[in-house]
Structure 1
Amino acid sequence: MVRANEEVEALLQEYADLIAISGGDAFKARAYEKAARAIGGHPVDVTRLDVPGLRKIPHVGASIAEKVVEYLHTGRVAVIEETRAEVPAGVRELIAIPTLGPKKAMVLHEELGITSVDQLLAAVHAERLRDLKGFGERTEENILHGIALLQKAGDGRILISAAMDVAEQITGELSGIAGCERCTYAGSLRRMRETIGDVDVLVAAERSAPFMTALTELPYTAEVIAHGAKKTSIRTTKGLQVDLRVLPPASWGAGLQYFTGSKGHNIRTRAIAVRNGLKLSEYGLFDAESGESVASETEEAVYARLGLPWIPPPLREDRGEVAAGLRGDLPELVAEGDVRGDLHTHTDLTDGLSSLADMVAAAAARGYAYYAVTDHAPDLAMQRMTEAKVLAQRDEVRALDRKHRGMRLLHGTELNIGPDGDVDWPDAFLAEFDLCVASVHSHFNQSRQALTRRLIRACENPRIAIIGHPTTRLIGKRPGIDADFDAVFAACARTGTALEINAHPERLDLRDEDILRAKRHGVKFAVNSDAHATTHLPYLRYGVGTAQRGWLTKDDVINTWPLTRLRRFLRGGRRP
């Protein structure tokens, strides 16, 4: 289930938005934003903390700590309720639109009387926004795109991380029930899709009743949608639907294959079965004439009887995986255990929430052979980075090198790719870093030509080894930039610049579709957590899942390589 920390983070961020909408103190709004991020990334469950304990979290003062305790004890905060009441409901509805900030939402309400998304759509189509100061044709395009994102988010899909949290808690509970032989999640979650509509849970057992009843009685079950012998569906307190099916142990493999999907993949496998005089269902693979079971207990047996190798779930999207399996051309996918280090992380020197020492210790605990610290460079002014600060950090990094299980440390930086493709520090200064990641953080609305040129220029900078979160998208919140990415991919292949697969579940950038295209150009990749707290390091699993959906192998991913090969790449040995 969603951590209490994340609930509090969302509440404080909402309050920050309400302060901004109502014209309140900008510094106060910023303080609540910082506190929201700090609590969201704090490793300790805030329900265990009192006011003094909360005040030990960076950016959390007495007033904020008291509000957090009030919320945890009562489920509400009086001052936030009062502020909500002061802001028109229509404006609160408008700020839910990605790309539309609180100030613009208030202008739309005050100047045009807009109080709903439907009214805003009508105003855009009537071109009524163009006379407002700060609005224009491009603003209208962004608003239309934001409304489309909002409507898409309203289809009930949630981020993979939230769905995984629910699935792992439920499978953990059910696995402990007597009679459970196997238990796992299936569906789009097993295929590691970036968003999930509902969670499919499978159990192998002779009797279904104990498991069906247990699901309905879980403390986070809010509604029982259906309760039967073969399938039970619930809705959690967070609104996520969970479907449980209990299979006979002898049918486990066929059921797991069937309920993992995708629909297109299953159509392909059923077609192969029909051509071979067989019938494939969730209960097994049967001879079409005699009805005799020929395979069912394991997925491997089902695929083998169809003349196929076992196909990893992230590939099962009907993108040629069945044909590749028949040819014997399936890739040996990169796995999380192949990753030797994380090459994009932050500390509290800039916008991170954990100290350098804590981040290094947490990385070492994950068994990494190497680890890079890449705090922001000075062009992101709010981070207040300076040459003196980053050089002092370098001394700390060197002092910690090999101190944790022999893990090697790389001192890097995340540069900002400016509107013309320039980056923060001069070439001579950049030459002293072990690693430079460069990312777009602003000016997202440049023309397609300008954005493409901007990224290609960054690729051509010999000091830049990795382009971070290349499309800049935030799932359900911000669209990716409009650049000619095939041209960017070609430039990366030509210059030997790696593209990041940012593992943060709100980004997963590059997407799997982009990875497939970039791979065809010959691009190399880095799967990184972009961690801003120790609790973010495990996000790497989602980046690896996305890499698998993009058909990547170990050789495609630079941070699976031994350090000597990686250093050669980072020094420019990658370039023709």
Structure 2
Amino acid sequence: MARANDEAAALIQELADLLSITGGDAFKIRAYEKAARAIAGHPDDISGLDLAGLRKIPTVGEAIAKKVLDYTTTGTIRQVEELRTQIPAGVRALTAIPTLGPKKALAVYEELGISSVDELAEAIKEGRLRGLKGFGAKTEDNILRGIELMRSSGERVLVDAAAGVADEIVAALSALPQVERCMHAGSLRRMRETIGDVDVLAASTDPHPIMEAFAALPLVAEVIVGGDKKTSIRTDRGLQVDLRVVPPESWGAALQYFTGSQAHNIRTREIAVKAGLKLSEYGLFDADSGDLIVSSTEEEVYERLGLPWIHPALREDTGEIEAALKDELPRLVTVEDLRGDLHSHTDLTDGIASLEDMVAAAADRGLEYYAITDHAPNLFMQRMTDEKMLAQREQVRKLQKKYPGLVLLHGTELNIDPDGEVDWDADFLEGFDVCVASVHSHFTQDEAAMTRRLVRACENPNVHVIGHPTARSIGRRPPVDADWDEVFRAAARTGTAMEIDSFPDRLDLPADLIRRAKRFGVRFSVDTDAHSLGHHRNIRYGVGTAQRGWLTPDDVINTWPLERLRAFLRKDGAR
């Protein structure tokens, strides 16, 4: 996606946020938020579009299109600049706290003069917020959790932001005649949820022109340090990228060295030392003579250490060495294993693409089956009705004739209410092929209440998948509190799958909970939760999270043939 799309979307979203602070019209705010998602998800570069072209983007009307055109011609949106001057910088700083809404940010600024995150944290500790209307002990706890969440994310970015930069750099460098091999390494190759900096590795006998080309890329804002072995830059989005160029014969050792976590690399070096060897980014050497033994491929390095090749997603020292020594490493699920997608949305609710366009995108992915799961009526802002859903079902049936090689499933994403109930009665729900049920509200329930809520949803015979189970938004909203072992027992007992949502700010279930759930015999569904055509590409991040959770294809229900999946959805004991 072109960076112009992201920047314009960020400005439109900021406009929505600023209007929230100033008490703007709620309908208009939602329209801006939806348009921001549409612009970010638009597959083409918006920078060359005129007003008519911008208006063709779903949910972008003439007023919003003019604002985007303002950005593409001036680099900013004048209304955003005007609102920024009306709202104190301190209030805008406070709105960065995930759990503090704009109205509360304005209240603490006006009532107590608080204009920074540190001041707010100190005020809570001193009990100074207790006298403000709407600020109780629970509110304070939530704000403190939000501050902790914001601080923990630091300068890290979501995995998709890092992957976009890495893909662009690898493609540019791979085109150079001096480059024999090039790929990203580090935490991005391990598919961590957030990335501090991007590591790129290239193999060449002539590094100097590669480093020059790297430093001259359009996305480079600053060269931090330069050299023929390593050059570090900062991109125009603030992300640091380190490029290392190694001799071709050292490729495998370097890739192994710069991919593994520190803990994993310590373990492999310990194995090397015990075998009388020395392992570095240049190769595996005899410790006494210094002679090179192997270095050209990762497989050779691991094999000489007495280990099979270990998948990058597992290289965290969380049991992969022990499993490798016992020859018990799993065959991890891949994108190619997926036969279907069980969670996606259209413009009937909060998606930005039509039903037919979303189905076409699923067909382009080579899927065998695809579920449309628009929101149910209890998510009031989506304005769903029985009639709209039944009309869509008929559309799906008609569209099926156009795609004989892709089985279309008509589903819905239900809302799990505070008591564990879901939208619609059993009779209506039985008409769906698949029902995903998710928590969309009341995120701050205590552990006991949230556990009962999720268990009850699992026990509903018409609920097949629990969508984004922890309801977290990375860097913005913490996961809900629940006794996950109890939830996973219920899911395994009832034959209810836990979703791994591929949205980069969700990746939910996270890897640690995936491994816990798997021990209880839970099955999983790796879905895009796509709201636009571009979101289909996010599947790589969901699969990466599944790999970090040690999942095999058999653990994931949407790798199964359709008949086996249908048996599972009937909850008739199929595993």
1:447 counterpart = 2:446: yes
* Aligned 8 A contact 1:99 1:478 in 2: yes
Counterpart of 1:396 in structure 2 is 395
Counterpart of 1:58 in structure 2 is 58
1:423 counterpart = 2:422: yes
SS in 2 for 1:90: helix
* Aligned 8 A contact 1:348 1:354 in 2: yes
Looking at structure 1, the residues matched to 14 and 519 of structure 2 have their Cα atoms a distance apart, in angstroms, of 42
Matches within 5 A, 1:450-469: 450-469=449-468
Looking at structure 2, the residues matched to 34 and 365 of structure 1 have their Cα atoms a distance apart, in angstroms, of 25
Matches within 5 A, 1:119-518: 119-154=119-154, 156-401=155-400, 403-404=402-403, 406-518=405-517
Q: Which moved more, 1:50-59 or 1:536-545?
A: 50-59
Write out per-residue CA displacement over residues 16-36 of structure 1, whole angstroms, 9 at most, x where no aligned residue: 111121123333322222221
Pairwise CA distance, 1:58: 2.7
Pairwise CA distance, 1:109: 1.4
Looking at structure 1, the residues matched to 512 and 521 of structure 2 have their Cα atoms a distance apart, in angstroms, of 15
Matches within 5 A, 1:527-566: 527-566=526-565
Pairwise CA distance, 1:44: 2.2
* Aligned 8 A contact 1:417 1:440 in 2: yes
* Aligned 8 A contact 2:191 2:545 in 1: yes
Pairwise CA distance, 1:233: 0.6
* Aligned 8 A contact 2:59 2:352 in 1: no
Structure 1 letter corresponding to 2:84:
R
Structure 2 letter corresponding to 1:342:
D
Structure 1 letter corresponding to 2:402:
K
Pairwise CA distance, 1:63: 2.1
Matches within 5 A, 1:36-47: 36-47=36-47
Pairwise CA distance, 1:48: 2.4
Counterpart of 2:109 in structure 1 is 109
Pairwise CA distance, 1:137: 0.4
SS in 2 for 1:501: strand
* Aligned 8 A contact 1:42 1:353 in 2: no
Looking at structure 2, the residues matched to 3 and 219 of structure 1 have their Cα atoms a distance apart, in angstroms, of 11
Looking at structure 2, the residues matched to 329 and 258 of structure 1 have their Cα atoms a distance apart, in angstroms, of 23
Structure 1 letter corresponding to 2:9:
E
Counterpart of 1:27 in structure 2 is 27
Looking at structure 2, the residues matched to 310 and 575 of structure 1 have their Cα atoms a distance apart, in angstroms, of 33
| Unpaired runs of at least 5, structure 1 | none
Counterpart of 1:81 in structure 2 is 81
Looking at structure 2, the residues matched to 498 and 328 of structure 1 have their Cα atoms a distance apart, in angstroms, of 28
Deviating 4+ runs (over 3 angstroms)? none
Structure 2 letter corresponding to 1:484:
D
| Unpaired runs of at least 5, structure 2 | none
* Aligned 8 A contact 2:11 2:77 in 1: no
Pairwise CA distance, 1:375: 0.4
* Aligned 8 A contact 1:466 1:497 in 2: yes
Structure 1 letter corresponding to 2:97:
I
Counterpart of 2:15 in structure 1 is 15
SS in 2 for 1:31: helix
Write out per-residue CA displacement over residues 472-514 of structure 1, whole angstroms, 9 at most, x where no aligned residue: 0000000000111111011111111100000000100010001
Looking at structure 2, the residues matched to 179 and 106 of structure 1 have their Cα atoms a distance apart, in angstroms, of 56
Write out per-residue CA displacement over residues 372-419 of structure 1, whole angstroms, 9 at most, x where no aligned residue: 000000000111111111111111111122523610000001000001
Looking at structure 2, the residues matched to 2 and 119 of structure 1 have their Cα atoms a distance apart, in angstroms, of 38
1:521 counterpart = 2:520: yes
Looking at structure 2, the residues matched to 3 and 558 of structure 1 have their Cα atoms a distance apart, in angstroms, of 35
Looking at structure 1, the residues matched to 359 and 30 of structure 2 have their Cα atoms a distance apart, in angstroms, of 28
SS in 2 for 1:139: helix
Write out per-residue CA displacement over residues 128-180 of structure 1, whole angstroms, 9 at most, x where no aligned residue: 222222211000001001111111222x1100001000001101011111121
Q: TM-score, structure 2 length as denominator?
A: 0.98
Write out per-residue CA displacement over residues 338-368 of structure 1, whole angstroms, 9 at most, x where no aligned residue: 0001100000001110000000001000000
Looking at structure 2, the residues matched to 246 and 42 of structure 1 have their Cα atoms a distance apart, in angstroms, of 35
Looking at structure 2, the residues matched to 574 and 351 of structure 1 have their Cα atoms a distance apart, in angstroms, of 34
Number of equivalenced pairs: 575
Structure 2 letter corresponding to 1:353:
I
Counterpart of 2:95 in structure 1 is 95
Counterpart of 1:569 in structure 2 is 568
Looking at structure 2, the residues matched to 197 and 2 of structure 1 have their Cα atoms a distance apart, in angstroms, of 22
Structure 1 letter corresponding to 2:324:
G
* Aligned 8 A contact 1:254 1:283 in 2: yes
* Aligned 8 A contact 2:494 2:571 in 1: no
* Aligned 8 A contact 1:2 1:165 in 2: no
Write out per-residue CA displacement over residues 289-309 of structure 1, whole angstroms, 9 at most, x where no aligned residue: 111111110000011111110
* Aligned 8 A contact 1:402 1:408 in 2: no
SS in 2 for 1:131: coil
Structure 2 letter corresponding to 1:233:
S
* Aligned 8 A contact 1:494 1:575 in 2: no
Q: TM-score, structure 1 length as denominator?
A: 0.98
